[in-house]
Amino acid sequence: MKTNDVILQTASKVVFFIIILFAIHLFFAGHYHPGGGFVGGLMTSGAIVLLLLAYDIKTVSQGFPIDYKILIGVGLLFAAGTAAGALLFNVPLLTHAFGDFNLPLFGKTSLHTAMLFDTGVYLVVIGVTMTIIQTIGESE
Amino acid sequence: MKVTVIIDAVIILFLVIGAFLSLVAAFGVIRLPDVYTRNHAASKAATLGVMSTLLAAFLYFYLIEGHFSSRILLGIAFIFITAPVSGHLISRAAYNAGVKLSDSSIRDDLKDKNKR
- The pLDDT, as a whole number, for residue A70 is 95
Spatial neighbors of A119 by CB under 8 A, at least 6 apart, are A37, A75, A78
Q: What is the sign of the dihedral through the CA atoms of B64, B16, B91 and A132?
A: positive
Cα separation, B45 vs B4, whole angstroms? 30
pLDDT, mean over chain A: 89
Q: B92 and A3 in contact by Cβ < 8 A?
A: yes
- The pLDDT, as a whole number, for residue A3 is 74
Q: B89 and A8 in contact by Cβ < 8 A?
A: yes
- The pLDDT, as a whole number, for residue A86 is 85
Q: B81 and A15 in contact by Cβ < 8 A?
A: yes
User: What's the rounded mean pLDDT across residues A52-69?
Assistant: 90
User: What's the rounded mean pLDDT across residues A66-90?
Assistant: 91
Query: Strand, coil or helix: what is A116?
Result: helix
Determine contact, residues B46/B21, Cβ cutoff 8 Å: yes
Query: Strand, coil or helix: what is A103?
Result: strand
User: What's the rounded mean pLDDT across residues A87-100?
Assistant: 86
- State the pTM of this model: 0.86
Q: How does DSSP assign B18-47, residue by residue?
A: HHHHHHHHHHHHHHSSSHHHHHHHHHHHHH
pLDDT tens digits for range A27-53: 998 888 898 899 999 999 999 999 999
- The pLDDT, as a whole number, for residue B106 is 83
Q: Choose the closest CB to A11 out of B71, B85, B92.
A: B85
Determine contact, residues A27/A19, Cβ cutoff 8 Å: no
Residue A2 pLDDT level (bands cut at 50, 70, 90) = low
pLDDT tens digits for range A96-107: 888 788 888 777
Question: Is A7 part of the contact surface with chain B (CB cutoff 8 Å)?
Answer: yes
Going residue by residue through chain B, which has 116 residues, state the pLDDT in tens, using 9 for 90 and above.
Answer: 788 899 999 999 999 999 999 999 999 999 999 999 999 999 999 999 999 999 999 999 999 999 999 999 999 999 999 999 999 999 999 988 888 888 888 888 777 776 55
* Residue B35 C-alpha, separation from nearest chain A C-alpha, in angstroms: 20
